[in-house]
Amino acid sequence: MSIMGPPSASGRFGEYGGRFVPESLIPACFELEAVFNEAWGDPEFVGEYRRILTEYGGRPTPVTELRRFSQKLGIRVFLKREDLAHTGSHKINNVIGQALLTRRMGKTRLIAETGAGQHGVATATAAALLGLECVVYMGEVDVARQALNVFRMKLLGASVISVVSGSRTLKDAINEAMREWVASVDSTHYCIGSVMGPHPYPYMVREFQRIVGDEALVQSKEILGGKVPDYVVACVGGGSNAAGTFAGFVDTTAKLVGVEPEGGAAINRGIPGVVHGMRSNLLQDDVGQVLEAHSISAGLDYPGVGPEHSYLASIGRATYVTANDDEVLNALQVLSKLEGIIPALEPAHAIAYVIREAGKEIPLGSTALVTMSGRGDKDAESVAQLLGDDV
């Protein structure tokens, strides 16, 4: 039995997870769970999911050895190249799976919420491919900040709804998408972008992302003469690229390390609570008010984390560490200059950890596989602003 097997019948990973939603959404969660379980055991469904990710998504993505970077650090570092997947990140693996499920449920419409816009663009992409209607909820503040992604979603045929309630950011967009899901659940699937939300989402999204870890296990064994890497490292926002990566290695000897942003370290500094349909670690104050996360990478700017990560931390199977903004900006430049790969700010957190700990926590001569969850083009403008002339 794998340490990352299915959760309990009520969607628990240990004491985390569950299904904390209004009565009106319970049937939709049950329907989704039943349809997912059936589809995931159906070779025809799995075959189509894999075919699309191959022919359209560009899978399998390669594993690249970083020769100059490794020489500098004294450890052998490999990247799992999700930056080379269609749309430039691992998000495509999840949205293709959920779009196929939408069709299987006989639904015609996808809704999603997005902060920085990356999950909105990915959902709009999958909807276009499968001919589904797509509506993306986005806080008014984010709509203004992320004009280019708003335009991309529109080009892909999606409608973008600007949410003007509350702080007009991601958490308000989530509330609005939930409300809309209640009202239109017969025709509409709510496409959640990470290993979060009520059961079955954390489990289902991890299963759609495990293709990253399953491929990387085979690829790294091939490179290492049958051995697995000593360390397997991934950044953690909601935690989907890390969960997908860890799923491939959890039953091996590899040490699993998740890297959180210092200002959004839900596992390192949060305490268990219930938010957005799940029980997990959460940044909150003394009276249980959810605190805002702060990170230079919009994709990690979330006060919570997927429940399975809280579980893996609680049993000690995975370790969670943090990287700060300066370390991340440095890592982004080092990788760019030594290897010709510009990482997104999110995976630059994982790179930053490896740079900081090479020869310390990570002994010299070790091997480490890092998931490069996405490419850095989307962040070029904000990195330019942060670095100014210092490059």
Active site residues: 91, 113, 373
Collect all residues with Cβ–Cβ distance below 8 Å to 165 and sequence separation of at least 6.
Answer: 172, 175, 176
Site for ligand PLP in 335-364 (CB under 6 A): 344, 346-347
CB of 375 to ligand PLP, least distance (A): 8
For ligand PLP, give the closer residue by CB, 25 or 372.
Answer: 372
Three-state DSSP class for 370? Answer: strand
Which helix (H) or strand (E) covers residue 191, if one does? none
Task: By CB under 6 A, tell whether 237 contacts ligand PLP.
Answer: yes
For ligand PLP, give the closer residue by CB, 105 or 115.
Answer: 115
For ligand PLP, give the closer residue by CB, 107 or 349.
Answer: 349
CB of 116 to ligand PLP, least distance (A): 8
For ligand PLP, give the closer residue by CB, 123 or 241.
Answer: 241
Where does this chain touch ligand PLP (CB under 6 A) — which range of 6-14, 23-31, 239-247, 323-331? 239-247
- CA–CA gap between residue 258 and residue 239 (Å, rounded): 8
CB of 232 to ligand PLP, least distance (A): 14
Radius of gyration of the chain (CA): 19
For ligand PLP, give the closer residue by CB, 107 or 276.
Answer: 276
- Can you tell me which of 146, 241, 245, 284 binds ligand PLP, judged by CB under 6 A? 241
CB of 184 to ligand PLP, least distance (A): 25
- Can you tell me which of 229, 239, 303, 304 binds ligand PLP, judged by CB under 6 A? 239
Which helix (H) or strand (E) covers residue 227, if one does? none
Task: By CB under 6 A, tell whether 146 contacts ligand PLP.
Answer: no
Task: By CB under 6 A, tell whether 93 contacts ligand PLP.
Answer: no
CB of 89 to ligand PLP, least distance (A): 4
Where does this chain touch ligand PLP (CB under 6 A) — which range of 21-29, 67-75, 96-104, 238-246? 238-246
Backbone angles phi, psi at 264, to 5 degrees: -145, 40
Q: How far is CA 259 from CA 23, 321, 370, in A?
A: 35, 5, 11
DSSP 343: B
Neighbours of 338 (CB within 10 A): 16
Following DSSP, what letter does each residue of 127-179 receive, concatenated?
HHHHT-EEEEEEEHHHHHHTHHHHHHHHHTT-EEEEE-STTSSHHHHHHHHHH
DSSP 257: E
- Can you tell me which of 57, 200, 238, 304 binds ligand PLP, judged by CB under 6 A? 238
Collect all residues with Cβ–Cβ distance below 8 Å to 260 and sequence separation of at least 6.
Answer: 235, 236, 266, 267, 268, 300, 305, 320, 321, 322, 323, 349
Cβ atoms of 124 and 95 within 8 Å: the answer is no
- Can you tell me which of 101, 235, 318, 321 binds ligand PLP, judged by CB under 6 A? 235
Nearest to 308 by CA among 247, 232, 233, 228: 247
- Can you tell me which of 177, 373, 379, 383 binds ligand PLP, judged by CB under 6 A? 373
Interface residues toward ligand PLP, by CB under 6 A: 89, 91, 118, 194, 235-241, 299-300, 344, 346-347, 373-374
